[in-house]
Chain A
Amino acid sequence: MTKTIMSVDDSASVRLMINFTLKQLGYEIIEAANGKEALKKLAGRRIDMLITDVNMPELDGISLVRKVREDPLYKLIPIIILTTESQTEKKHEGKAAGATGWMVKPFTPDQLTAVVKKVLP
């Protein structure tokens, strides 16, 4: 069955890159521009992985991870947060909120692929 990955980022170009790269790997992608939109689009829908930016309007990435983990449906899915080098503390915050791992921006399609392969069976 095709696996679905939700990608949340307020930057359209970052979403484009994630979408483009992961679709090539055969994943189905749901996009959202911020945490609030992500929660709305999720609404009990099954996803296999979540990739989210940290710094976003409306609802930031860390809060999104926390909220998503509360739902039993998403309790065990891999979640990757996107941080920048200047926000190392966000890695720990994200981990504490329930993220599986992180990826530092900027990243290349190859790096994205490696990380997805690392956490998604």
Chain B
Amino acid sequence: MSEELQDRMRQAFTDETFEILTALEASLLQLEEDPGDTEAVSSIFRAFHTIKGSGAMSGFDEVSGFTHDIENVYDLVRSGRVLPCRTLIDLTLSAADLIREMVLNPHPGEYGYQEQTASILAGFKSLSPSDEGRKRPRVVLPPSGLNPFMFSAEPGGEVTYRIRFKPVKEIFLSGTNPVLLMRELSGLGDCRVVAHMDDIPELDELDPEACYVYWDIILTTSRGTDAIRDVFIFIDGQCELNIEVVDDGESDLDTSDYKRLGEILIEKSELTRENLEKVLSEKKTLPLGELLIDEGLVDRDSVQAALAEQEQVRLARESRLRAEGISSLRVSAGKLDRLVNLVGELVTVQARLSQTSLRSQDPGLISIAEEIERLTAELRDNTMNIRMVPIGTTFSRFRRLVRDLSQELGKAVEITTEGAETELDKTVIEKLNDPLVHLIRNCVDHGIELPEVRAAAGKKRKGRVHLAALQSGPNVIIRISDDGAGLDRGVIRRKAVEKGLMAPDESIPERELFSMILLPGFTTSENVTNVSGRGVGMDVVKKSVEALRGTIGIESTPGVGTTITLSLPLTLAIIEGLLVEVGGEMFVVPLSAVKECVELGRDSARRTEATRVINIRSQLVPYIRLREQFSMDGDRPEREQIVIVRQDGQKVGFVVDKVIGEFQTVIKTLGRVFRDVTGVSGATILGDGSVALILDVPQLLEVVGKRGGD
């Protein structure tokens, strides 16, 4: 209730109560003069009745309760069970005075007017015959906003009901409009209404004020039968109301399995089984409904109603199926793989179509090719999406690992996760499990210190390993961080020098120093434990991640902790690539690695021939010639192109003859014979059917690195 209305009602109630009380006093005095004056008794009763009703509605609950009890007493006076007497009138007069005070000052204190009302009511009670102490419940205003005609239903599934509503002929004479009832029903849920009009007589016999129509309503709602009955609350007894459940919202979800037309009609007693069988045995080609109508066995409206029921149940089940389908649908991984392969083929063929259509310069064909391109891209994305699963399940598996490890090592470690809903290709997730186990082991073993050490360093005794996943463009980033001691630069240096990886006085960037721990056989652990320290692990991690076309980054701050960042492609099957040409052969560079393309003129090529380093905006970038890398013949063109790629913060250029452009690349793995070729990670089929090799950027970078080391 709005405040304005509330204030105005309080005021109106106060005014009206004073008026009523004045009139009440007059009636009381009249009753005192003539105890047999029934009219006076009635008006006294009515006075209290009015104050009670209005009081409850205007927020004067205490007044309402008090007057309710007095009204009860006057109900007894009215029926002659309590006789009017001096005491009664005195008590009523003091009640009137008290009501006046209650209205003027509704909140006198913590206990309200409890004491005063109780003493007056006790007086009244002494007048009532003992067995008449019946108490009718006081009225209490229901909480606002609660609609008495729409009970909130138990939250539950949607149930489909068949409702037969047949009002009495005279229904219109009580001001009832059946259309409004249908409208109210349709407010409860999906609703189909079929009116039965076969009882409507010829015009000259028709009484316009009579209702000849009855209705079949098929309603799908989660509100329950009570809500349906409430719609008809005012015409209870003036109608025939049948509510039956035809679909409980739980039974089998086979949409084709709902009852047949004949069954529904028999169930509703609109058709006998004999008649149904008779019609069915005639084997006519018309639909059953038509036959039944033609034979005059069932009227058209009944057939309509039964058909509506079939349709409604079918739709209800379908939408349920859809809803459940969203949450889970099990499909074998094999089927999915086949689908992904097919989409891959389709992408290839589509690329050919696009090329051919462009060559043909036929606008009609080009527009079809463009449409196909769009649809294929959508199909590809959707298909890839089917393979995506959240990484959360993998994360949760590590809780146990961390718990067991920390117990074994006498450390206190908790694991926290973030971004568990991040999705990744199923294959990627599966192949990621082992590397993650290694990394987490390392965190707990090398990273997190013993509780005493931590306490001494002013850290919380309990260490923390944090797993986070997030999507970043075409990649998923997974971070494994700990709040441990951080990598020990001194130890790594010493080991690196020991292994001859660097000179004792050489200064190398931190990033490079850290990346040494990814080399085979490199361990900084002084003692080999069960958990880690054998120097197998990090290089295996690196290999696995690179096999997934991912990269590893390491950051560490002494005393604060270490963070290992894995960057992985969302999917393994298709990548965006940059198509380049070298010596008449095509190659694909994964577009995610490409930073830019620059031209390498003959002059600058000659100038940099010895160093193989090019200056790009005053940054020196080493380059390699793919022609040499893959030992290809042929002459270099006048102007070559350099594709600058960037990996792990390192920039390198690949010199190619020509840059063709971006290309949707469906990755085909290489056969056994070619698997170990350096610098190539796979192959793809081009639009014209020829094969292009996909460059393995990390491997090629290593080649450059080695060259630099030589």
Residues of B within 8 A of A (CB): 1, 5, 8-9, 12-13, 15-16, 43, 46, 49-50, 52-54, 56-58, 64, 68, 71, 136-137, 139, 141-142, 144-150, 172-177, 179-180, 184, 209, 233-234, 237
Q: Which residues of B contact A13 (CB under 8 A)?
A: 9, 12-13, 16, 54, 57-58
Within 8 A of B (CB), among A78-107: 78-79, 82, 84-86, 95, 98-102, 104-107
Q: Which residue of A lies closest to B14 (CB)?
A: A13
Q: Which residue of A lies closest to B19 (CB)?
A: A12
A39 at the interface (CB under 8 A from B): no
Task: Decide: A12 and B175 in contact? CB cutoff 8 A.
Answer: no
Task: Decide: B149 and A20 in contact? CB cutoff 8 A.
Answer: no
A40 at the interface (CB under 8 A from B): no
Task: Decide: B173 and A75 in contact? CB cutoff 8 A.
Answer: yes
Task: Decide: A108 and B234 in contact? CB cutoff 8 A.
Answer: no
A44 at the interface (CB under 8 A from B): no
Task: Decide: A100 and B12 in contact? CB cutoff 8 A.
Answer: no
Task: Decide: B177 and A14 in contact? CB cutoff 8 A.
Answer: no
CA distance A118 to B177 in the complex (A): 9
A16 at the interface (CB under 8 A from B): yes
Shortest Cβ distance from B498 into chain A, in angstroms?
83
Q: Which residues of B contact A77 (CB under 8 A)?
A: 175
Task: Decide: B175 and A110 in contact? CB cutoff 8 A.
Answer: no
Q: Which residue of A lies closest to B141 (CB)?
A: A106
Majority SS at the chain A contact face? mixed
Task: Decide: B175 and A11 in contact? CB cutoff 8 A.
Answer: no
Task: Decide: B57 and A106 in contact? CB cutoff 8 A.
Answer: yes
Task: Decide: B234 and A76 in contact? CB cutoff 8 A.
Answer: no
Task: Decide: B54 and A110 in contact? CB cutoff 8 A.
Answer: no
A30 at the interface (CB under 8 A from B): no
Q: Which residues of A contact B147 (CB under 8 A)?
A: 110-111, 114
A17 at the interface (CB under 8 A from B): yes
Task: Decide: A100 and B54 in contact? CB cutoff 8 A.
Answer: no
Contact residue among A78, A85, A107, A121 (Cβ-Cβ distance under 8 Å from B57): A107
Contact residue among B8, B174, B234 (Cβ-Cβ distance under 8 Å from A98): B174
Task: Decide: A100 and B50 in contact? CB cutoff 8 A.
Answer: no
Q: Which residues of B contact A11 (CB under 8 A)?
A: 13, 16, 50, 53-54
Shortest Cβ distance from B145 into chain A, in angstroms?
5
Task: Decide: A79 and B52 in contact? CB cutoff 8 A.
Answer: no
Contact residue among A14, A21, A76, A105 (Cβ-Cβ distance under 8 Å from B175): A76
With A109-B5, A114-B148 known, 16 other A-B pairs at CB within 8 A are: A11-B13, A11-B16, A13-B12, A13-B13, A16-B12, A57-B46, A84-B49, A98-B173, A98-B175, A101-B234, A107-B141, A108-B144, A109-B1, A109-B144, A118-B184, A119-B180
Contact A101 B233, CB 8 Å, known A11-B53, A106-B56 = yes
Task: Decide: A16 and B173 in contact? CB cutoff 8 A.
Answer: no
Contact residue among B8, B56, B71 (Cβ-Cβ distance under 8 Å from A20): B8
Contact A14 B53, CB 8 Å, known A110-B144, A118-B184 = yes
Contact A105 B139, CB 8 Å, known A77-B175, A98-B174 = yes
Q: Which 7 A-B pairs have the closest CB atoms?
A: A101-B234, A100-B175, A106-B56, A78-B175, A13-B13, A11-B54, A13-B12
Shortest Cβ distance from B192 into chain A, in angstroms?
21
Contact residue among B8, B68, B146, B237 (Cβ-Cβ distance under 8 Å from A111): B146
A4 at the interface (CB under 8 A from B): no
Q: Which residues of B contact A63 (CB under 8 A)?
A: none
CA distance A79 to B176 in the complex (A): 9
B53, B56, B142, B179 interface centre (most CB from chain A within 10 Å)? B53
Q: Which residue of A lies closest to B68 (CB)?
A: A86
Within 8 A of B (CB), among A1-53: 10-14, 16-17, 20-21, 53
CA distance A57 to B46 in the complex (A): 8
Q: Which residues of A contact B149 (CB under 8 A)?
A: 114-115, 118
Q: Which residue of B lies closest to A86 (CB)?
A: B136
Q: Which residues of B contact A59 (CB under 8 A)?
A: none
Task: Decide: A108 and B1 in contact? CB cutoff 8 A.
Answer: yes
B64, B150, B180 interface centre (most CB from chain A within 10 Å)? B180
Task: Decide: A102 and B234 in contact? CB cutoff 8 A.
Answer: yes
Shortest Cβ distance from A46 into chain B, in angstroms?
15
Contact residue among B8, B175, B237 (Cβ-Cβ distance under 8 Å from A16): B8
Q: Which residues of A contact B148 (CB under 8 A)?
A: 104, 107, 111, 114
Shortest Cβ distance from B352 into chain A, in angstroms?
64
Contact residue among B1, B146, B176 (Cβ-Cβ distance under 8 Å from A100): B176
CA distance A57 to B58 in the complex (A): 21
Task: Decide: A119 and B136 in contact? CB cutoff 8 A.
Answer: no
Q: Which residue of B lies closest to A69 (CB)?
A: B173
Task: Decide: B173 and A108 in contact? CB cutoff 8 A.
Answer: no
Contact A84 B144, CB 8 Å, known A57-B46, A98-B174, A121-B177 = no
Q: List 9 A–B pairs whose Cβ atoms lie within 8 Å, in order of A's numbering.
A: A13-B57, A17-B9, A55-B46, A79-B175, A86-B139, A100-B234, A108-B141, A111-B146, A115-B149
Contact A78 B141, CB 8 Å, known A12-B12, A13-B16, A106-B57 = no
Contact A76 B209, CB 8 Å, known A13-B13, A13-B54, A109-B5 = yes
Shortest Cβ distance from A1 into chain B, in angstroms?
17
Shortest Cβ distance from B345 into chain A, in angstroms?
60
Contact residue among A17, A75, A99, A108 (Cβ-Cβ distance under 8 Å from B145): A108
Task: Decide: B177 and A78 in contact? CB cutoff 8 A.
Answer: yes
Contact A84 B53, CB 8 Å, known A57-B46, A100-B176 = yes
Q: Which residues of B contact A110 (CB under 8 A)?
A: 144-147
Contact A121 B180, CB 8 Å, known A17-B9, A55-B50, A75-B173 = yes
Q: Which residues of A contact B234 (CB under 8 A)?
A: 95, 100-102, 118-119
